[in-house]
Amino acid sequence: MPQSVQNLINTLVAVVPKLVVFLVILVIGWIVAKLLAKGVTKLLSLVGFDRAIERGGLRQWTGTYDPSQLFSKLVYYAVLLIALQMAFGVFGPNPVSDIINAIVAFLPLAFIALVIVVITAAIANAVKDVI
């Protein structure tokens, strides 16, 4: 057997298990993301999140989506990003992992910024009603 064919077989034997683990992580991440998104939607509906957003004067920011659905979509995509981070980590250090790691590292800061904007807008709306 020529050396190049042997090298191809060796490479495939090394990559196929990693590819299977990659796909398993993605499928599990997708399932977890779907379940969490449904759970977040139900939880936020139970606690009256949509009404609180309307009272805070922030309803126009959400467009056609209910605020709880919009927030659950954010959770869904955040979980998918974390699953992608874990899945690409199977292949070792690579440029895609670096980009996804940077995005995932930014998520907590984006969440805090979103919370600050929502609270500030609610306070501004309350002060506007008082004045």
Determine contact, residues 37/75, Cβ cutoff 8 Å: yes
Predicted confidence at residue 59, as pLDDT, reads: 65
Structure tokens at 75: 């959770």
12-28 mean pLDDT: 92
One-letter amino acid identity for 89?
A: G
Of 51, 114, 50, nearest to 78 by C-alpha is 114
pTM: 0.78
More confident of the two residues 45 and 79: 79
Mean predicted confidence (pLDDT) in 24-38: 97
Domain count, the chain: 1
Tell me what pLDDT residue 106 has.
92
Work out the average pLDDT over 45-61.
75
pLDDT at res. 118:
76
> What mean pLDDT do residues 15-29 have?
94
DSSP string covering 27-53: HHHHHHHHHHHHHHHHHHHHTTHHHHH
Residue 101 one-letter amino acid: N
Q: Is the pLDDT of residue 6 over 90?
A: no
Structure-model confidence comparison of residues 81 and 5, the more confident one: 81
Give me the domain span that covers residue 92: 3-130
What are the tens digits of pLDDT across the range 55-95? 766 666 666 777 888 889 999 999 999 999 999 999 888 89
Tell me, what's the pLDDT at 43?
Answer: 92
Q: Percentage of the chain with pLDDT > 70?
A: 92
